[in-house]
Amino acid sequence: MRQKLAENGAFLLRVVVSLMMLSHGVPKALDYDTLVQTFPDPLNVGTEMSAMLILFAEVGCSVLLLIGVFGRFASATLFFAMMVAAFVHHFNDPWAARELSLLYAAVYAALTFTGPGSLSIDNWLAKTVFETKAPASPAPPPVEPGEPT
């Protein structure tokens, strides 16, 4: 029973946080031309590259996490993006400006450690495609009555 509850909890957490992050990323993607002109450059890679990286994380990795493909990679990428938002972009801002990105970062850290759960494509692939069957151990030779074992 506990195992089933944990599986459902990981699934619910993964789906809900993905949909919530998509609500941040999709509007940015739809207004890309304006975003590129005004987006900050916290990593000193250029504003356009910074915008593309955050769109990759907020949209691309959220979709991967939502469907359960490359779950640990997607959640680790989103964790990194939220830490940059909290401690680089919002460094001089008050706590309230950092709070949401840190909350997201905590959820992504948990999903990075636990993985996407058993209700994911990653788990299905691991079980059906990548699982190796252990070779059957040979049966011990029959022992004759009266022989020492």
Model confidence over 74-91: pLDDT tens digits? Answer: 999 999 999 999 999 888
Per cent of the chain over pLDDT 70 is 91
- The structural domains of the chain, with segments of one domain joined by +, span 2-27+58-120
Task: Name every residue whose Cβ is closer than 8 Å to that of residue 70 and which is 6 or more positions away in sequence.
Answer: 64, 122
**Which of 48-52, 73-77, 93-97, 137-141 is the least confident region?**
137-141
Q: Long-range contacts made by residues 38-45, C-beta under 8 angstroms, separation at least 24?
A: 40/89, 42/84, 42/85, 42/88, 42/89, 43/84, 43/88
pLDDT at 125: 83
CA distance 70 to 33: 29
* 98-104: average pLDDT: 94
- Measured CA to CA, the distance from residue 75 to residue 17 in angstroms comes to 10
- pLDDT on residue 122: 81
Entry pTM: 0.80
Lowest-pLDDT choice from 2-16, 72-86, 92-106: 2-16
pLDDT at 61 over 90: yes
Would you state the pLDDT for residue 149?
60
Of 32-41, 80-89, 136-145, minimum mean pLDDT range? 136-145
Q: What's the whole-number mean pLDDT along residues 124-136?
A: 73
- Report the b/e string of 53-85 with b at 16+ CB within 10 A: bbbebbbebbebbbbbbbbeebbbbbbbbbbbb
